[in-house]
Amino acid sequence: MYLTSEAKKAIFTQHGGSEKNTGGAESQIALFTERINHLTGHLKANKKDHGTEKALMTMVGKRKQLLNYLKMYDIERYRAIIAKLGLRK
């Protein structure tokens, strides 16, 4: 698989505070972003892979739900993760 356990631990440490904080909103958003970037690159090379396209749209929706949750409950954390990942303007 393209994301090894060491890479996931690095993502969780960088965005969640520790490698054991795997359920935090920031950690999950960062992990979804990494997967979305990988699948986007795959779809550029394989345009007819409709299963992957559906999985990509599902992940984008889940990430959007998590971002909406953060925006509603803690706007500062939302702004921090958006700036850190460079998702929106």
**pLDDT, tens digit only, all 89 positions of the chain:** 678 999 999 999 999 888 888 889 999 999 999 999 999 999 999 999 999 999 999 999 999 999 999 999 999 999 999 999 999 75
Q: Is the residue at 1 inside a domain?
A: no
User: Which element (helix H / strand E) includes 88?
Assistant: none
Q: Is the residue at 13 inside a domain?
A: no
Identify the pLDDT of residue 69.
Answer: 96
Domain residues for 29? 25-85
Identify the pLDDT of residue 1.
Answer: 63
Q: Is the residue at 2 inside a domain?
A: no
Report the CATH number that the domain containing residue 63 is assigned in CATH: 1.10.287.10
Q: Is the residue at 15 inside a domain?
A: no
Q: Is the residue at 5 inside a domain?
A: no
**pTM for the whole thing?**
0.90
Q: Is the residue at 64 inside a domain?
A: yes
Residue whose tokens read 């999950």: 28
Contacts of 50 (CB under 8 A, 6+ apart): none
Give the start-end residues of each E strand in 1-89.
none
